[in-house]
């Protein structure tokens, strides 16, 4: 479809924006970075001969994908001084337990656990997996973006898929069951019941913490494994915050927001399988907790997220 005139371009871009943002968030795991990429795509649209573009949606997706690829390739150097685990920027809404719109989030969300797995892929692998497996783009369209033949791109996707399938955890999809497990976790933690807390955790549970750029004196382990070890960390370091936890939807799944005095200081995402918590992700980086999460005006600039040393 050829789009003529600035008004038509604007209308088509706004129609494509949700898709473009979804692609960028799955590529980058950051709402803020996704906003930057989509805004840059808008600027490039206005700086191009868009009247000759036959498929505006495909053209914009390609631009966003290439911008994301560039961002991923330069991100590792910026993370060298990052404390603990780097976790995605969460998509959070407050859980009211009876809102049908929140139930629909499960069908249109990507979980924190999958985003963590995607972050272990190389930039080209991640791009191919996201565009093909999550958005069904054909390899012939993806190949020019990564500079490979369609056959080589297909092979790259197969390798990425094997890595994702080998690392992505199984989950209990029922939201009410997730809430019940998290409720048991929270009750045991608030009561200081070590045995009950261990019982709700998988024996091989993994807990990750993203606290952003903190001084060395405030550093704590960013990764803890094992039910007893995780339970000890929760009871030792979480006691002051447990009374301030409230239910939330975190990337389409049941989770918790820690908000003393109504000010969010942490988000807890959970992966639950067979009635036990297999992964627990604490996001306490202040730059990732500017609510409401869907409002770009509330998000930090790139300079704030990645300050120069």
Using omega within 30 degrees of 0 as the cis cutoff, is the peptide bond preceding 141 cis?
no
pLDDT at 219 over 60: no
Pick left, alpha or beta for residue 29 (phi over 0 → left; psi -120 to 50 → alpha; otherwise beta). left
Q: Looking at residue 84, what DSSP letter applies?
A: B
Percent pLDDT > 70 in the chain is 78
Using omega within 30 degrees of 0 as the cis cutoff, is the peptide bond preceding 292 cis?
yes
| pTM of the complete model | 0.82
Percent pLDDT > 90 in the chain is 58
46-60, 71-85, 89-103, 200-214: which range is least confident on average? Answer: 89-103
**Confidence band, pLDDT 50/70/90 cuts, at residue 75:** confident
At 196 the three-state DSSP class reads helix
Average pLDDT value over all residues in the chain? 84
Closest to 287 (Cα-Cα) out of 72, 82, 20? 82
| pLDDT confidence of residue 129 | 97
Q: Which domains does the chain have, with CATH numbers?
A: 1-78 (1.10.1740), 175-288 (3.10.450.50)
pLDDT at 303 over 90: no
């Amino acid at each position: 479809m050829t789009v003529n005139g600035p008004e038509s371009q604007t209308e088509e871009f706004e129609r494509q924006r949700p898709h473009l943002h979804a692609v960028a968030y799955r590529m980058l795991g950051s709402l803020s970075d996704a906003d930057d990429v989509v805004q840059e795509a808008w600027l490039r649209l206005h700086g191009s001969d868009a009247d000759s573009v036959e498929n505006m949606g495909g053209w914009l997706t390609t631009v966003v994908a290439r911008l994301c690829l560039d961002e991923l390739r330069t991100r590792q150097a910026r993370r060298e001084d990052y404390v603990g685990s780097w976790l995605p920027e969460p998509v959070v809404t407050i859980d009211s337990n009876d809102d049908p719109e929140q139930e629909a989030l499960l069908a249109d969300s990507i979980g924190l656990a999958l985003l963590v797995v995607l972050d272990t892929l190389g930039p080209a692998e991640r791009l191919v997996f996201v565009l093909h497996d999550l958005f069904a783009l054909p390899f012939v369209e993806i190949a020019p973006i990564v500079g490979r033949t369609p056959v080589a791109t297909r092979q790259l996707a197969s390798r990425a898929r094997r890595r994702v399938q080998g690392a992505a955890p199984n989950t209990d999809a029922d939201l009410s069951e997730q809430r019940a497990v998290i409720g048991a976790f929270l009750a045991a933690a608030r009561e200081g019941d070590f045995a009950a807390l261990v019982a709700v955790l998988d024996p091989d549970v993994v807990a990750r913490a993203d606290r952003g750029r903190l001084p060395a004196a405030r550093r704590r382990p960013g990764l803890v494994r094992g039910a007893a070890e995780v339970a000890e960390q929760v009871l030792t370091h979480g006691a002051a915050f447990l009374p301030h936890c409230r239910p939330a939807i975190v990337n389409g799944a049941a989770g918790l927001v820690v908000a003393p005095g109504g000010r969010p200081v942490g988000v807890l995402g959970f992966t639950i399988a067979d009635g036990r918590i297999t992964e627990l992700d604490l996001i306490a980086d202040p730059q990732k907790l500017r609510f409401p999460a869907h409002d770009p005006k509330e998000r930090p600039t790139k300079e704030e997220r990645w300050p120069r040393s």
